[in-house]
Amino acid sequence: MKITEFEYDLVLQNDINTNGHTQWFFYRVHNFVEGKKYRFNIINLAKPDSLYNYGMKILCFSQKKKQEQNIGWHRVGEQIDYYENDFKREMVGRFQKNFYTLTFVHTFKNVDDQQFFAHCFPYTYSDLQDDLSKIEKDGNSTNFFHRSTLTRTLAGNRCEYLTITSKDKDPKSLKAISKKGVFISARIHPGESNSSWMMKGVIEFLVGNTPEARALRDNFVFKIVPIINPDGVINGNYRCSLSG
């Protein structure tokens, strides 16, 4: 909603089949006036406090910066504030609670640019597919990396299921039988994309050629579900799956 020529109120969509869960945001801005300061107010957040009150900035991706300077997602924002507003939420028990506003100012410097703003570095379901395909194409990984499907989601998407461990010549040997299992998962809350970046680092380390990675594969069986809520990730939810 346009408030003034250079100020906008933004309302986040609730998670599908829910009445709330608005924390993650991702939106695009174009057709702006070069050199002008714009204020954006996200007005339907629910948490009573935020890291934006303690120095955290907004993430921005500028197509021009990527093309001309090879700069991807970077932190921006001036006059950042997070506070309780006067908009009423649904009754919680006997209590009527208010929403919270995240507000910030940003200056656009190139009229031909398109810029994107996000709560955290995005990591999509497609990013995962690309990363796993790269590992599969590495001929050496076939000795210790197995990719399968744990299940199909409500929307029919694959829930990826990985096994990382050294293949023993004799699967019935004492060493093979005595291997302990380690289970790791991420993105049960789909808006927490930072966990996918941590998972990406874990997987890349475990399939690497370092002595530590080889020792871990020799002594453990790693079972990994890198995105446990694919539907929520694909649909841009913050906390829930399609069933709410």
Q: Classify residue 6 as exposed, middle or buried by CB count within 10 Å of its CB (0-12, 13-18, 19+).
A: middle
What integer pLDDT is reported at residue 180 of this predicted model?
Answer: 94
From the candidate CATH numbers 3.20.20.70, 3.40.1520.20, 3.40.630.10, 1.10.1270.20, the one assigned to the domain spanning 125-234? 3.40.630.10
Query: For position 93, what pLDDT does the model report?
Result: 63
Same fold, 2-118 and 125-234: no
Mean pLDDT by 10 residues, the chain (244 residues): 94 91 92 95 94 96 96 97 91 77 95 94 97 94 95 97 87 74 97 97 97 96 98 95 93
Report domain extents, the chain.
2-118, 125-234
Give the pLDDT of residue 14. Answer: 92
Question: What is the distance between the alpha carbons of residues 229 and 26, in angstroms, rounded to a whole number?
Answer: 18
Predicted local confidence at residue 144, as pLDDT: 95
Q: What is the pLDDT of residue 235?
A: 94
pLDDT of residue 107: 96
Q: How many CB atoms lie within 10 A of CB 85?
A: 15
Q: What is the pLDDT at residue 174? A: 64
User: Quick one: pLDDT at residue 88?
Assistant: 87
What's the predicted TM-score (pTM) here? 0.88
Instruction: Give me the architecture of the 2-118 domain, per CATH.
Output: Sandwich (2.60)
pLDDT attached to residue 30? 94
